[in-house]
Each structure stands twice: as C-alpha cells, then as structure tokens.
Structure 1
Amino acid sequence: MFARPNSQHSQVAYVTNDLIAAMAALKAAYDTPGFFEMSNIQPGEDPAGKPVLKIALAVVGGVEIELIEPVGDTAPLFKDFLPDDDGLAIRFHHVATRIEGPLANWDAHVVSLDLTRHPVVFEGAIGDMLRYIYTDERATLGHYVEHVWMSSDLLSQLRALTPSYPPVKD
C-alpha cells in the first residue's frame, strides 16, 4: 500500500468542528507556525452535490499538517469522525502519500493498487493539476489513506503559500 514507486508519505490530517479554534490550539500546544487557509470550493463555483470543506495547512518538520472542517452535512466522510457533543473536537482522519513526477506516475500508482482490498471512497481532480483518491483502510489501520498527485506548478504554488517550520531554505 505505502511501498510504491514515486510515492512518499507527505501529510497527517485531522478533522475539526472549528477550524479557527483548532489552528489556535495547534499553535499554542505544538508551536505550529501558522496556517494557509483555503476552501475546496472556489469563488463562484456551485457547491451543489459536493462536499464543502474549510482547510488549513502547515508544514512541520517536513510533514504537512492538514486541518479540515466539514461544512454542514455536505461531507459525511469527514464529519462522521467528529463527536456529536459540544466543544472543540480535533480527530485524526487520514495520512496522505504524494505521488511524485509526471501524471503517468499517478496512473501507474492507481493501477498498482488492489482496489478490491483498498476501496476508493472519495476521489477528485482539477484538470491536469491535481488527482486524489481516498482509500478506506479503517478495517486494518483505523483511518483513510489519501493518495494525491499534483503538477509541479501546483505543488510549488502550495509550498510557497504554506507556512513551514523550520523555514524551508532555498
């Protein structure tokens, strides 16, 4: 599953019921340097039928930390990890493995997966810039695994926007 050509562990992700409070909690408890905030829905995009997520990213020690707040009932894959009680909740959700190189490496990666044993529960793409799937590994690992590929341009843009500790040296 994890041992694949051109693949490396790149992210640990948590879901939360309050993105702002979760960012503050991670900054206070773990000296997370700051976050890049975004939504998966772009301005002017119709969110009908899509999960709506608020997302915050930081890089700590070379690993991306992702916080995800599902909005309303649009994203049960994320919301179902959260407790029903009041108060701030931050719960581990998935790890991500990023596929490096050209888009052909992504295609080879997906073909190499046994999708009967590792079923895809969520997937998406943005043109030739981004591909991702989430496989359900809860029976074995207790969480999902995100497999993601980004074009080199998108990856560079995201790295430039995401705070990193220690700071990335060029």
Structure 2
Amino acid sequence: MFPRPNARHSQIAYVTNDLDRALAIWRDEFDVPAFHVFTNDMPGLESSQPFQLKIALANVGGTEIEVIEPLHGTAPLHAEPLPADGSFAMCFHHVAMRITGTLADYEAHMASLDTDAHRVVWTGRFADLMRYAYTDERTTLGHYVEHVWFDDEFYEQLASAIPVYPAR
C-alpha cells in the first residue's frame, strides 16, 4: 500500500478533545508556535459519515502535523480513541499518504489496494478538488491510513495558509 506510484507519506495526525490545550503542548513542548486552524464546514463537502471537525495544520520539517478535535458528538472515527469521561487527551490517529497527479491517479491508487486486507472505513470528497479514504490498519500498524488527493491549485491554496517550520 505504501510503495505506490504518485503516493508519498505526507502527514502525521492526532485527535484531541481540547484543541487549544493540544496546540499549547505543541507550542510549549515541541516548538511549533502556530497552526492554521479551521472547521470543515465547507459547502460541497460530502462524506460517507456525517462529521464536523476543528482542524489545525502545521508543516514541520516537510511533514504536515494535523491535530483534530471532533465536534458536537460527530466523527466517531476520530472520537473513538478519546476518553469517554471527557478528560483531556491527545492521541495518535493516522498517517496520510498524499496521492499526487490527477483524480485518475487517485482512483488508480485506490483500485490498487487489497480492500479485504486494507478495509476502507471512511470516504469523502470536496467537489472535484479533494478525495480521501481511510483504511483501518489498527490490527497491523495500530492506526488508520488516510489516502488523500488534492487538485494542485486547491492544494497550493491550502498549503499557502499552513505555517512552515523551520521558517523558509
């Protein structure tokens, strides 16, 4: 699944139940002073599961760090590892493989996966600008793998908003 044409590891993602507190840890203990923070409430976003997330992104040494807070009791895939009692947690959740090229390249990547061995548990899209799928690799790797594709111009727009460390 990892050595595929047009696919590269691009992100490490965590889930939390308190994004402000989690970002303070990244700032104070790991020297990442700022993140691009947004919610996924964009018109045109479609998903196999209803969800609302608050998302923070920073590019650290060429790898994107993503910290996600599931909102309003949605996003069970992201909320599942968090403590039921509401006590603060920040838990490793997934790595992302970014598929570059065209939408057809993403579709070829997904078609190349053995979905019996790598079960797809969540999919979504944002218009013709983004596609994603999560495979459940918890029994072998201990986490999910996100397979994501962006239209080049859309990705450049998103990437321009993400702080980069060390600063260029």
TM tier, smaller: over 0.9
Structure 1 position 97 matched with structure 2 position 97: yes
Runs of 4+ in 1 over 2 A off after TM superposition: 84-88
Partners of 1:30 and 1:87 lie apart in 2 by 22
- For residues 77-130 of structure 1, what are the alpha-carbon distances to aligned partners after superposition, in whole Å with 9 as ceiling and x for unaligned? 111111224442100000000001111110110110011111111110012100
Please report how far the alpha carbon of residue 154 of structure 1 lies from its aligned counterpart in structure 2 after TM superposition: 1.1
Structure 1 position 138 matched with structure 2 position 138: yes
Amino acid at match of 2:40: N
Equivalent residue, structure 2, for 1:34: 34
Equivalent residue, structure 2, for 1:58: 58
Partners of 1:103 and 1:167 lie apart in 2 by 31
Amino acid at match of 1:40: N
Q: How does 1:99-114 map to 2 (within 5 A)?
A: 99-114=99-114
Partners of 2:124 and 2:93 lie apart in 1 by 18
Partners of 2:127 and 2:42 lie apart in 1 by 14
Please report how far the alpha carbon of residue 167 of structure 1 lies from its aligned counterpart in structure 2 after TM superposition: 2.1
- For residues 45-78 of structure 1, what are the alpha-carbon distances to aligned partners after superposition, in whole Å with 9 as ceiling and x for unaligned? 9xxx721111000010100000000013211111
Equivalent position SS for 1:101: coil
Equivalent residue, structure 2, for 1:118: 118
Query: Pairwise CA RMSD of aligned residues?
Result: 1.8
TM-score by length of 2: 0.93
Equivalent residue, structure 1, for 2:148: 148
Equivalent position SS for 2:51: coil
Amino acid at match of 1:66: E
TM-score by length of 1: 0.92
Are the equivalent residues in 2 in contact too, given 1:33–1:58 (CA < 8 A)? no
Amino acid at match of 1:62: G
Structure 1 vs Structure 2: percent identity of aligned residues? 53
Are the equivalent residues in 1 in contact too, given 2:17–2:86 (CA < 8 A)? no
Partners of 1:27 and 1:123 lie apart in 2 by 31
Aligned length: 166
Partners of 1:158 and 1:14 lie apart in 2 by 19
Structure 1 gap ranges (5+): none
Partners of 1:167 and 1:33 lie apart in 2 by 11
Equivalent position SS for 2:93: strand
Equivalent residue, structure 1, for 2:25: 25
Structure 1 position 160 matched with structure 2 position 160: yes
